[in-house]
C-alpha cells in the first residue's frame, strides 16, 4: 500500500481487541514510533533490534492485559481483515489514562486515530479525569488539545546499567514489612496510601504485581503503626537483549519530606536482588523534586522527558514515583 492513498474511515471497523489481536496491535505501535522518529530525523527509536523486540513484546503483553481487565479497554481498527490502528485505556476509579493510540504509518491522516480517540474518551465518560503520555506528533497533539487535555509537567525517565545502591540507613526511623499478595490487611493499608498520594485505590493491581515477580514493603514509623509509605520493585520482567531491565515503582510517601527515606529503602531493596547484568529504570513526575538527588547519587541518569497531558490534576505527584508510564 502506498503512503498518501486515501482510505475512508467509514470503511474501517473499530472493535474491542482480544488477546489474539495483541501481537498485531503491538506491531502497529512499533511501526508508528519508528516512522515518527524517521519523519523528525531523530535518532532511532530503539538502539538495537533486541531492544525493539523487547518493546514489542512488552506492548503485546500490555494490550493482552488491557483486553482481559474488566474496567479497561483495548481497541483495534480493522480494514481488509488487517489491524491498521490500536488504542488502549486504563480506568482506575475516577481516573482514566490512555496508554496506546497508534495508527499504521500508511494509514495515518485518514481519521482512524481520531475515531479511536473518540471511542476511548467515551469509555472514560464516567471518570473525573482523563490523561495520557503523548508522542511529539503534532496531529495527535491537536486531537488531544481539542478533547480538552492540557499540557502538564512531564514524566522523567531515568535509568542506570550499574546503579550504586545505598546501604541500609538504620537511623531513618522506619520499620519495613514485606508485602504479600494474600495479606488483605496490609494491602488495604497500601491502598489507602495510594488513595492519599496516587489519587485512587488500585488493590487489584497490587495483588497482580505481587502475585507475579514483584516484591515490595510497607514502611511504618518505627515503634508505631503509622504508615509512612511503600514501594514495589519489578525484578526484571522487561527482557532487553543482554540481561534484564528491572523497574522501581510505584513508590509513595505520605509526607514529601519522607520521600527520600522511602526511596532509599526501595533502592537498597533493589540492590539486594540486582544481578550483574540487570539494568534499572523508573518513571516519575517532574513535580517530584525530592527524587532527583537520591537517584543521581545512585548513578541513575535521565533518558528522556515524556509529555504528560490531562484534563486536570489528581494525586500528589511531588511524593510519588510511577509504576510505569502506562499504569502510573
pLDDT at 7 over 80: no
Per-residue pLDDT at 8: 54
Per-residue pLDDT at 139: 85
Residues 6+ apart with CB under 8 A from 290: 256, 257, 259, 260, 263, 318, 319
Q: What whole-number distance in Å separates Cα of residue 244 and Cα of residue 239?
A: 5
Q: What whole-number distance in Å separates Cα of residue 118 and Cα of residue 112?
A: 10
DSSP bridge pairs for 238 = 245
List, for residues 141-175, the tens digit of each pLDDT value.
Answer: 999 999 999 999 999 999 999 999 999 999 999 99
Q: Maximum distance among all alpha carbons in the chain?
A: 69
Work out the average pLDDT over 238-263: 83
pLDDT at 132 over 90: yes
In eight-state DSSP terms, residue 166 is P
For domain 9-148, the question of CATH label 3.40.630.30 is answered with yes
Per-residue pLDDT at 245: 86
Work out the average pLDDT over 252-260: 98
Q: Determine the 3-state secondary structure of 145 from DSSP.
A: helix
Number of Cβ within a 10 Å radius of residue 62: 22
Per-residue pLDDT at 237: 53
Q: Is the dihedral of CA 46, 51, 53, 58 positive or negative?
A: negative
Number of Cβ within a 10 Å radius of residue 39: 10
pLDDT at 22 over 80: yes
Q: Is the dihedral of CA 98, 100, 105, 107 positive or negative?
A: negative
Helices (H) then strands (E): counts for the chain: 8, 13
Per-residue pLDDT at 281: 95
Work out the average pLDDT over 93-104: 97
Identify the CA nearest to 259 among candidates 321, 188, 184.
321
158-321: CATH number: 3.40.630.30
pLDDT at 308 over 50: yes
Band of residue 238 on the pLDDT scale cut at 50, 70, 90: very low
Work out the average pLDDT over 81-100: 97
Q: What whole-number distance in Å separates Cα of residue 226 and Cα of residue 241?
A: 42
Same fold, 9-148 and 158-321: yes
Work out the average pLDDT over 276-297: 95
Q: What whole-number distance in Å separates Cα of residue 42 and Cα of residue 263?
A: 33
Looking at the chain, list the stretches that DSSP marks H as alpha helix, in order from N- to C-terminal side.
22-39, 49-68, 112-123, 138-146, 184-197, 203-211, 259-273, 292-297
pLDDT at 266 over 60: yes
For residue 90, give the C-alpha cell.
486504563
Cα angle at 18 between 15 and 23, to 5 degrees? 110
Work out the average pLDDT over 105-133: 95
Q: Locate cell 495483588: which residue?
A: 207
Query: Looking at per-residue confidence, does 243 or 126 come out higher?
Result: 126
Per-residue pLDDT at 240: 36
- What pTM did the predictor assign? 0.91
In eight-state DSSP terms, residue 21 is G
Q: What whole-number distance in Å separates Cα of residue 97 and Cα of residue 108?
A: 22
% of the chain surpassing 90 pLDDT: 82
Band of residue 10 on the pLDDT scale cut at 50, 70, 90: low
Torsion of CA 115, 120, 124, 130, to 10 degrees: -90
Average pLDDT in the chain = 92
Q: Determine the 3-state secondary structure of 317 from DSSP.
A: helix
pLDDT at 6 over 50: no
Q: What whole-number distance in Å separates Cα of residue 72 and Cα of residue 41?
A: 35
Band of residue 48 on the pLDDT scale cut at 50, 70, 90: confident
Residues 6+ apart with CB under 8 A from 16: 67, 73, 74, 75
Per-residue pLDDT at 38: 86
Domain ranges of the chain: 9-148, 158-321
Identify the CA nearest to 252 among candidates 301, 322, 185.
322
Work out the average pLDDT over 238-266: 84
Work out the average pLDDT over 133-138: 88
Amino acid at each position: 500500500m502506498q503512503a498518501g492513498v486515501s482510505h475512508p474511515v467509514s470503511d474501517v471497523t473499530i472493535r474491542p481487541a482480544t488477546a489474539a489481536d495483541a501481537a498485531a496491535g503491538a506491531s502497529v505501535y512499533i511501526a508508528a514510533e519508528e516512522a515518527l522518529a524517521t519523519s523528525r530525523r531523530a535518532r532511532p527509536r530503539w538502539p538495537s533490534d533486541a531492544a525493539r523486540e523487547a518493546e514489542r513484546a512488552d506492548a503485546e503483553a500490555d494490550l493482552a492485559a488491557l483486553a482481559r481487565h474488566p474496567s479497561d479497554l483495548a481497541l483495534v481498527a480493522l480494514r481488509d481483515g488487517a489491524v491498521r490502528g490500536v488504542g488502549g485505556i486504563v480506568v482506575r476509579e475516577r481516573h482514566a489514562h490512555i496508554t496506546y493510540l497508534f495508527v499504521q504509518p500508511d494509514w495515518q491522516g485518514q481519521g482512524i486515530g481520531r475515531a479511536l480517540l473518540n471511542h476511548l474518551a467515551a469509555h472514560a465518560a464516567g471518570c473525573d479525569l482523563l490523561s495520557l503520555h503523548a508522542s511529539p506528533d503534532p496531529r495527535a497533539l491537536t486531537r488531544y488539545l481539542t478533547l480538552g487535555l492540557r499540557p502538564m509537567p512531564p514524566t522523567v525517565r531515568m535509568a542506570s546499567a550499574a546503579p550504586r545502591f545505598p546501604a541500609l540507613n538504620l537511623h531513618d526511623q522506619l520499620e519495613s514489612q514485606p508485602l504479600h499478595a494474600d495479606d488483605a490487611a496490609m494491602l488495604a493499608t497500601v491502598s489507602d496510601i495510594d488513595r492519599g498520594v496516587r489519587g485512587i485505590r488500585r488493590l487489584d493491581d497490587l495483588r497482580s504485581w505481587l502475585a507475579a515477580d514483584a516484591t515490595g514493603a510497607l514502611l511504618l514509623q518505627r515503634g508505631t503503626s503509622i504508615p509512612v509509605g511503600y514501594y514495589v520493585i519489578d525484578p526484571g520482567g522487561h527482557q532487553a537483549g543482554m540481561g534484564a531491565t528491572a523497574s522501581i515503582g510505584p513508590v509513595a510517601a505520605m509526607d514529601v519530606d519522607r520521600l527520600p527515606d522511602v526511596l532509599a529503602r526501595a533502592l537498597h531493596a533493589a540492590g539486594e536482588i540486582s544481578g550483574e547484568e540487570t539494568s534499572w529504570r523508573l518513571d516519575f513526575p517532574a513535580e517530584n523534586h525530592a527524587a532527583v538527588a537520591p537517584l543521581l547519587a545512585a548513578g541513575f541518569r535521565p533518558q528522556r522527558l515524556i509529555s504528560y497531558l490531562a484534563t486536570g490534576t489528581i494525586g500528589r505527584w511531588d511524593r510519588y514515583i510511577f509504576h510505569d508510564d502506562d499504569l502510573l
